[in-house]
Amino acid sequence: MGAGHAHAMYVHQHSPVHHLAPEVKIVAALAFTGIVVATPRESLTAFGAYALIIAVLALAAKIPPLWLAKRGLIEFPFVATALLLPFLTSGPRTDFLGMSLAVDGIWAGWNILVKGTLGVLIALILAATTPARDLLLGLDRLRTPQAITQIALFMLRYLEVLADEARRMRVARLSRLDDPRFLWQIKGFAAGLGALFLRAFERGERVFLAMRSRGYTGRLPAALHAGSVATARQWAGGAIVPIAALFALILMGYQ
Partner 1 sequence: MHISNGIIDGPVSLFYGAIAMGLLALCLYRARQDLSDRLAPMAGLVAAFIFAAQMINFPVLPGVSGHLLGGALAATLVGPWVGALCVSVVLLVQALIFADGGVSALGLNIANMALLGTAVGYLVVVGLMKLLPRTAFGVGAAVFGGSVVSVVLASQGFVLQYFLGGDVDLIVGYGQISATMAGVHSLIGIGEGAIAAITVTAVARVRPDLVYALHGRRLATEATEPAGSATFRGIKPLIAVGALITLAIAGGLSYFASSAPDGLDATTLKGCTVDTDGNITGGSCVAQRAQDHELGSGFLADYGIKGLDSSTGLAGVIGVALTFAIGLIIFWIIRDRRRADRRRADRRRADRHRPGQRPGEPVHATINAGRLNQGLNQGPNQAPSQAPNQGPSQAPSHPDPWANVAVPRRRTSGSDAPRGA
**In the range 65-84, which residues lie near partner 1 by CB under 8 A?**
71-72, 74-75, 78, 81
User: Considering beta carbons, is residue 218 or 233 the nearer one to partner 1?
Assistant: 218
Residue 152 binds to partner 1 (criterion: CB under 8 A): yes
**Binding to partner 1 in span 99-118, by CB under 8 A:** 102, 104-105, 107-108, 111-116, 118
Q: Give the 3-state secondary structure of residue 29.
A: helix
Nearer Cβ to partner 1 (155/250):
155
Window contacting partner 1 (CB under 8 A); options: 11-19, 158-166, 221-229, 240-248: 158-166
Q: How far is the CB of 128 from partner 1 (least distance, A)?
A: 10
Cβ burial, residue 3 (10 Å; 0-12/13-18/19+):
exposed
Q: What angle do CA 250, 251, 255 make, to 5 degrees?
A: 90
CB 7, CB 132: distance < 8 Å = yes
Which of 251, 254, 248, 252 is CA-nearest to residue 32?
A: 248
Restricted to residues 127-146, the positions that interact with partner 1 (CB under 8 A) are 127, 132, 135, 139, 145-146
Shortest distance in whole angstroms from residue 74 CB to partner 1 = 6
Is 242 one of the binding residues for partner 1 (CB under 8 A)? no
- Which CB, 2 or 233, lies closer to partner 1? 2
Which residues have CB under 8 Å from 220's CB, separation 6+? 140, 146, 149, 150, 153
For position 247 contacting partner 1 by CB under 8 A, the verdict is no
User: Phi then psi for 168, rounded to 5 degrees?
Assistant: -65, -40
CB 26 within 8 A of CB 135: yes
Nearest-angstrom CA–CA distance, 62 and 95: 43
**Binding residues for partner 1, total number by CB under 8 A:** 91
Q: Which helix (H) or strand (E) holds 171?
A: helix 146-175
Which of 85, 230, 241, 248 is in the footprint of partner 1 by CB under 8 A?
Answer: 85
Among 179, 222, 226, 233, binds partner 1 (CB under 8 A): 179
Using the contact rule CB under 8 A, the part of the chain among 56-64, 186-194, 226-234, 245-253 near partner 1 is: 186-194
